[in-house]
Amino acid sequence: MSSTQVAPLLSISGLTKRFGVVTALWNVDLSILPGDFVAIFGPNGAGKSTLLQLVAQLSKPSEGSIEFPEAADSGREEVGYVSHMSLLYNDLTGFENLVFFARLYGIEKPVERANELLEKMNLKQARNQFAGSYSSGMKQRLKIARAMLHEPRLLLLDEPYAGLDQHGSRLLTGLLKQLREEQRTVLLITHNLGEGLDLSSRIVIMNRGQVVYRAARDDVDETGFESLYFRTVEG
Amino acid sequence: MNALRLIGILAAKDLRIEYRSRHAFLTTLFFALLILIIFNFAFDPGNQSIKDAAPGILWVSLLFPGVIQLNRSFQSEREEGTLYGLILAPIDRGVLFFGKFLANFFLLALVDLFVLGSFFIFYNLTFSTRLGWLFLLMLLVGIVFSSVGTLFAAMVSSVRARDVLLPILLFPILVPVVIAAVNATREVLGTGELEFFWQWLRLLVASDVVFIAGSFLVFDYVVEE
């Protein structure tokens, strides 16, 4: 490796995942560099969520490997995961949820960390409300706060725009832009082509369990992206 | 971080959630008391047959409703996917098991206390120093029930027919423990010497060790995928 090359944060090689006779992912190779903001597009059933679950180590690959070259252990602590489900306890307040998970991660000052993230996510007013009573947008921001508790080096966001109204989407976009400015490494799955394109530094399109297109954001023509996407997934 | 502290954090979270809703606790307790009342009316009061059946009635009223508590114990994890959140945290799966086990054991022991008091009133039994032995039996059986129950509840938590499946899986495993508990209870409720009580007690202690170790070892595989 030359001295100018940056070591990847995440290196995926030959990744295959089968559920019985169904192959959800087939021979996926992907390398994520520190500071990358990668948007993953693809139709339903393309294997995007399966990919993120494998990276989060919630599931084991059938073949291939997922490596965090600079991680001391398996890399589980490198990852913050925001899934379709909230991963939050509805009967605990937003604050209690964050403090509980902060304690599990062994964070030194869980109360201070929870307050800091609630402030950052603009949820301080709703601190003592039960998570079950949060609106979709508030819950989405609390989900991201939970995933960021332990300052993960890689943030995995699985369709964070799902179920959000326009106001919620705008707030979320602001938050994601903030993450990009902080040079956080993010893997974002979204069906929202415009938002994904606007936020990302690299683009990946998946279809039928495979990566069918990848490019740097700067190499993609914004006006022609939608037709490129449909050509790629339908072709 | 200290594993015991983490177990405490996990159990405290479950107990806090249960304290706020009280769904599982109240339903379990109500069902247990209902069983005691039904059997109380089914038998002729003062008849010897009710005294013979009392140990069995007590354990039926403790174990069958306990399944409600176990089934509810993974409800939050199932509904909002928080089990993923727990698995993602850098903690040993054994810590997760013992956290759930401890919360289940505490809630079931609380139900046991209420049931025991009601049992003595409904069945007109006299309070004596032997009551302590009976509560000890309840705790020992509670350990087996909570450990195997926590394991199976985790196993069936993502299955649609979990409410039916849990008792079908759980009770066959518990048969030797229930036999030991009923026989030991018969001696405690009787007026004679505790002749075989200590043997049954030893069997229950051995069961506690075996079942808790087995459940702890298998739990890792259960939550793996």
Cβ neighbour number for residue B41 with a 10 Å cutoff: 9
pLDDT in tens, A64-119: 999 998 777 777 788 999 998 999 999 999 999 999 999 999 999 999 999 999 99
Which residues pair with residue A158 across a beta bridge? A189
User: What's the pLDDT score for residue A1?
Assistant: 45
Of B1, B80, B89, the CB nearest to A89: B80
- Taking CA–CA distances from A54, the nearest residue in chain B reads B225
Percent of chain B residues past pLDDT 70, beyond the cut: 99
List Cα–Cα distances, A207 to A19, A26, B118, in angstroms: 17, 10, 63
**Which of residues B42 and B104 earns the better pLDDT score?**
B104
What's chain B's length in residues? 225
Average pLDDT estimate for B110-133: 84
Maximum C-alpha span of chain A: 53
CA distance A189 to A156: 8
Pairs of residues, one from chain A and one from chain B, whose beta carbons lie less than 8 Å apart? 68
pLDDT in tens, B26-38: 999 999 999 999 9
Cβ contact B85–A88 (<8 Å) = yes
pLDDT at position B1 is 58
Measured between alpha carbons, how far is B14 from B6 in angstroms, rounded to an integer? 13
CB distance A189 to A31 below 8 Å: no
**Both structure tokens of A185:** 């490494």
Structure confidence at residue A4 (pLDDT): 59
Residue A213: φ, ψ to 5°? -155, 140
Distance of CA A32 to the CA centre of its chain: 12
Angle at which helix B3-21 crosses helix A94-104, to 10 degrees, equals 160
Q: Which residues of B make CB contacts under 8 Å with A?
A: 1, 6, 9-10, 13, 16-17, 20-21, 76, 79-82, 84-91, 224-225
3-state secondary structure of A24: strand
Among chain A residues, CA nearest to B83? A87
Interface of A with B (CB under 8 A): 56-60, 76-77, 79, 81, 83-92, 96, 100-101, 103-106, 146
Cross-chain CB nearest to B85 (options A59, A77, A101): A101
What is the average per-residue pLDDT within A130-152? Answer: 92
Give residues with Cβ within 8 angstroms of A142, minimum separation 6. A86, A88, A94, A97, A98, A121, A123, A131, A134
CA distance B102 to chain A (A): 17
Q: What burial class does residue B7 get, using C-beta atoms within 10 Å of its C-beta: 0-12 exposed, 13-18 middle, 19+ buried? A: buried
| Predicted pLDDT at A211 | 94
For residue range A147-194, what is the model confidence (pLDDT) as tens digits?
Answer: 999 999 999 999 988 878 887 788 888 888 988 888 889 999 999 898
Dihedral through CA B15, CA B21, CA B24, CA B27, nearest 10?
Answer: 140
Strand arrangement, sheet containing A10-19: A22-32, A10-19, A63-67
ipTM reported for the complex, 2 dp? 0.88
| B174-221 tens-digit pLDDT | 999 999 999 999 888 887 777 788 999 999 999 999 999 999 999 988
Mean pLDDT of chain A: 91
CATH code for residues A10-234: 3.40.50.300
Dist CA A226 CA A41 (whole Å): 11
Asked if residue A153 lies in contact with residue A7, where contact means CB atoms within 8 angstroms, the answer is no
Report, as an integer, the average pLDDT of B140-144: 96
